[in-house]
Structure 1
């Protein structure tokens, strides 16, 4: 764990402003945050925190990928969210009052995270309504995303979930995407089995809707994919 200071601190301040939550901080607030922040480097697969551990800090992902997941009573894992560089996570603990992480966090790849003092940040929120509203806005956006995902899991078939995920992670003007994670991770995120992911993507390839080469998927027929994503 390393402190954030010097020239590295200047670069870090620029990176931190990528996150909607931290973009609203004044220069003085950001300097205060950096004084109490530290950087953590994680190897692929390394745990950052575990479900039910005392929660005293939240995090900004500077590079790499992090998976947030819950453990079931039988030891199974359910991936809740995949965190990408430029995002904050575990900030909801500022309002929860339980003092414990509701999920586990582990690195999917080599990762660099910034660890932020939650109590001091909460004090800044009390001093700055603008920052507080920025946090609420960010949490509201993520809540709406989660609600949409719950609808998807409840209403869509496995094929519909895969189709919707492909649409959400590609663009009409840039139809190709790189998975960046294993099929097992993606399948868990969509609440399907890895073999189901393989079967659905193979079916989409055969229908000419997508093409697959290694980790690269290209959407060839966006309209057809949209029709599958809209089926209930």
Structure 2
């Protein structure tokens, strides 16, 4: 049970819970739990029973799958303010299809799937919020599948930089990396050595430079132009 009023307020502000009545929220919080994870600590593993879903309040967390050879593939990086695993509540006797591991120290709130699902039966506005959230995620994943299947490693990295860049000047920008490069490489389906080679090549071509956890875009127009001009055409994985 969670009694912390600040956490209750943060939960109520999230769109999946904002349409709950005070009595419904109070009922949900009775079965909720506060979870603190250290960096690299697992929340659950692929194949575990999926009885709860989560809201990440602080930190970053990766969802990944492991193949029979023991190799891990990052499926999604969850950032603060986002929920995950809620879709599984509609599949009875479900298991988690991925593992969840903290990338940094994390603070999460876990919710009982049965409790929230029962509330949805009597709250149409909350149902619409869940459907809207799942629709957005579906479109996002469809776009990601297209990018990962049609683009080579170089293009995937360039597209990531362009989508996450914040302009710092008329023709310059910055991308703040809040996750380790190995996690980003896995998320983009790029081998770590290939990722390092691409970064070094882009630095040598003066497209980017690095400053701590930031990637500095030295010439935004040239970065956009480079998407269609392969500078490492042998890289395809």
TM-score (norm 1): 0.90
Q: Equivalent of 1:216, from 214, 218, 227?
A: 214
Distance, in Å, in 2 between the alignment partners of 1:225 and 1:90 is 36
4+ long deviations beyond 6 Å: none
Task: Tell whether the 8 Å contact from 1:160 to 1:231 is kept in structure 2 after alignment.
Answer: no
Q: Which has the higher helix share?
A: 1
Q: Does 1:30 align with 2:25?
A: yes
Question: SS where residue 121 of structure 2 aligns?
Answer: helix
Question: How has the CA–CA distance of structure 1 residues 35 and 72 changed in structure 2, closer, same or farther, with 3 Å as cutoff?
Answer: same
Give the CA deviation at 1:97: 3.1
Match of 1:16 in 2: 11
Question: How has the CA–CA distance of structure 1 residues 38 and 200 changed in structure 2, closer, same or farther, with 3 Å as cutoff?
Answer: same
Task: Tell whether the 8 Å contact from 1:156 to 1:231 is kept in structure 2 after alignment.
Answer: no
Structure number with greater Rg is 2
Cα RMSD (Å): 2.0
Match of 1:169 in 2: 164
Per-residue Cα deviation, 1:164-199 (whole angstroms, up to 9, x for no partner): 111222233583232122221111111111121122
Which residues of structure 1 form unaligned runs of 5+? none
Which residues of structure 2 form unaligned runs of 5+? 231-237
Question: How has the CA–CA distance of structure 1 residues 229 and 89 changed in structure 2, closer, same or farther, with 3 Å as cutoff?
Answer: farther
Question: SS where residue 68 of structure 1 aligns?
Answer: strand
Q: How does 1:1-232 map to 2 (within 5 A)?
A: 3-5=1-3, 9-172=4-167, 175-229=173-227
Task: Tell whether the 8 Å contact from 2:33 to 2:109 is kept in structure 1 after alignment.
Answer: yes
Aligned residues: 227
Question: How has the CA–CA distance of structure 1 residues 73 and 231 changed in structure 2, closer, same or farther, with 3 Å as cutoff?
Answer: farther
